[in-house]
């Protein structure tokens, strides 16, 4: 069993699911992540043609590559 990750803020202790979640909670980035998710969702809902789809796919592919390179820096992937 892996050691659980925890974020301590004053007297509050929260469990983190993974290192990314730990960083988000520690730096109070949850509102930023929520806004980013809402923007991506809005863009995805408004894709009307193939070139727009390709541009969005490229953006998401780059985000995934960046995410996994971030995890490799911490030897987590």
Residues 6+ apart with CB under 8 A from 67: 20
Per-domain boundaries in the chain: 5-73
Residues 6+ apart with CB under 8 A from 17: 5
Element (H, E) at 14: strand 12-16
pTM of the model: 0.62
Q: Can you give the pLDDT of all 77 residues of the chain as single tens digits?
A: 466 788 888 898 988 888 888 888 888 888 999 998 999 899 889 999 999 999 999 999 998 998 888 777 766 54
- Both tokens of 14, joined, read 């929260």
Residue ranges with strand state E in the chain? 5-9, 12-16
């Amino acid at each position: 069993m892996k050691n659980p990750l925890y974020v301590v803020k004053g007297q509050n202790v929260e469990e983190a699911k993974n290192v990314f979640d730990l960083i988000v909670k520690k730096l109070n980035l949850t509102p930023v992540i929520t806004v980013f998710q809402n923007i991506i969702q809005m863009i995805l809902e408004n894709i009307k043609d193939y070139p727009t789809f390709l541009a969005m796919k490229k953006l998401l592919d780059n985000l995934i590559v960046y995410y996994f390179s971030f995890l490799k820096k911490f030897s987590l992937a």
